[in-house]
Amino acid sequence: MSKPLNFGIIGYGFMGRAHSNAYRKVNNFFDLPSHPVLKAACARDKDKVKAFADKWGYESVETDWRKLLERKDIDAIDICTPNNTHAEIAIAAAQAGKMILCEKPLAMNGPEGLKMVQAVEKAKVPNIVWYNYRRVPAVTLAKQLVDEGKLGKIFHYRANFLQDWTISADLPQGGAGLWRLDVAAAGSGVTGDLLAHCIDTAIWLNGGIATLSAMTETFIKERKHTLTGKVEKVGIDDACSFFCRFQNGSLGLFESTRYARGHKALYTFEINGEHASIKWDLHDLHRLEYFDHRDQGILRGWRSIHVTDGDHPYMGKWWVPGLQIGYEHSFVHQVADFLEGLGKGQAVQPDFRNAYQTQLVLDAILDSAKNRKWTEVARG
Ligand code: SOE
């Protein structure tokens, strides 16, 4: 019999919807030891949070997250709020003995992230960070191939995350939806928002990053601030590129921007190994491109694997072979793995300590760009 697990979600934006959708669907497709009960949604605006709760089926609402944490009927807290609130909420949630599912990036910076790690480890509460792209079946398959040694020694890791939604100088910074442009709320720009995903996947697939050299640019230096109504300096990075050495000796090249006209969410990565290479593209997320030099010469070429068969990661739980799934399913998979891990008493990755590694790389990037020098990534 599956046990109820009572969830309280904080925040009702894009991620509030993605996570709620996952909670609602997960037990229809996966056989799990527990099932999420949508107990409470929490946000400051009572009317908006009530509308969200009604739409997604939350039983109650709160307008103060501290009240939510005091509730005895809540087992797990889902943090879907801007980055500058993650630490305070997560540390208090750990002290209140709640399990925590926290949006990415873990924190505003490494030192803040470390406090969060220490809080969950001291309280011994299950915890996870929503780096959802690990659980796109084609990306999980890439991990399987790398771990099986199919690529052999890895030489290169290349990743991009390109968007184009902030090119207009009229776009304000701050407030609902646009807090990602406000450094006080976000901590950084594309580095923490987009490269964080690329780094999480890279560390997962190819191990830790040892040293790096980065550059950032803020193309639009001033924007009106939604909260103050005044034109204010923009503190986020609009674009960031870095190259690096991984701990395994391979070289990495990463680029992210919100100024690549024509690209909406072009997350791509490519890994080149001694025997084989793989490529993945979020715009075509169910495909994994694979080239194996060991194939017979006349047949050698890039294979485009349609990752939709029953023996592909997660796919046996969905439709029949050949029918694809999408972006939202990566969140369903994360909840499924989290509940499965809870049942077995096992930590599921990326937990706070694991996501802290990404945070340290983000700090090194910003430091390198600011000081125009190669930077060692601190070991967590
Ligand atoms: C920003 O536009 C954003 O929504 C990120 O915040 C997400 O993490 C990324 O997955 C897609 O882009």
165 and 112 in one domain? no
- CA 228 to ligand 1 center in whole angstroms: 25
- CA 80 to ligand 1 center in whole angstroms: 12
Q: What is the per-residue pLDDT for 160?
A: 98
The pTM for the full model equals 0.98
Write down which residue in 106, 132, 158 finishes a domain: 132
Residue 372 tokens read as 């125009």
155 and 120 in one domain? no
Name the residue of 81, 161, 180, 194 to mutate for ligand 1: max ligand atoms within 8 A of Cβ.
194
340 and 286 in one domain? yes
Residues 360, 110 contacting (CB under 8 angstroms): yes
Q: Which amino acid is at 225?
A: H
Nearest CA to ligand 1 atom 11: 265
150 and 119 in one domain? no
- CA 2 to ligand 1 center in whole angstroms: 33
Residue 369 tokens read as 């760009």
For the CA of 165, the nearest atom of ligand 1: 2
- CA 354 to ligand 1 center in whole angstroms: 20
Residue reference for tokens 């040694």 = 149
Nearest CA to ligand 1 atom 9: 194
139 and 114 in one domain? no
Query: What domain count does the chain have?
Result: 2
Q: What is the per-residue pLDDT for 43?
A: 98
Domain interval for residue 171:
134-376
237 and 223 in one domain? yes
- CA 190 to ligand 1 center in whole angstroms: 9
Q: Is the dihedral of CA 40, 200, 27, 339 positive or negative?
A: negative
- CA 119 to ligand 1 center in whole angstroms: 27
Nearest CA to ligand 1 atom 1: 193
For the CA of 133, the nearest atom of ligand 1: 10
Write down which residue in 102, 132, 162 finishes a domain: 132
266 and 235 in one domain? yes
**Residue 82: is the preceding peptide bond cis (ω within 30°)?**
no
Name the residue of 17, 130, 193 to mutate for ligand 1: max ligand atoms within 8 A of Cβ.
193
Q: What is the per-residue pLDDT for 176?
A: 86
For the CA of 104, the nearest atom of ligand 1: 8
Residues 141, 189 contacting (CB under 8 angstroms): no
- CA 299 to ligand 1 center in whole angstroms: 39
* Residue 29, domain CATH: 3.40.50.720
154 and 123 in one domain? no
Q: What is the per-residue pLDDT for 1?
A: 84
Helix axes 86-95, 110-123, angle to 10 degrees: 10
210 and 119 in one domain? no
- The residue ranges of DSSP E strands in the chain, in sequence order, are 3-10, 34-42, 60-62, 76-79, 99-102, 127-129, 154-162, 209-217, 222-224, 231-233, 239-246, 251-257, 266-273, 276-281, 287-292, 303-306, 375-376
- CA 200 to ligand 1 center in whole angstroms: 14
Question: Which residues form ligand 1's pocket by a CB distance below 6 Å?
Answer: 163, 193, 197, 265
* Residue 259, domain CATH: 3.30.360.10
108 and 25 in one domain? yes
242 and 189 in one domain? yes
Q: What is the per-residue pLDDT for 235?
A: 98
**Mean pLDDT, the chain cut into blocks of 10 residues (380 residues total):** 96 97 98 98 98 98 98 98 98 98 98 98 98 98 98 98 98 94 98 98 98 98 96 98 98 98 98 98 98 98 98 98 97 98 97 98 98 96
- DSSP codes joined into one string, 318-347: SSSTT----HHHHHHHHHHHHHHHHHHT--
Write down which residue in 108, 132, 156 finishes a domain: 132
Q: What is the per-residue pLDDT for 169?
A: 97
**Which residue in 268, 105, 238, 223 sits closest to 164, CA to CA?**
238
314 and 192 in one domain? yes
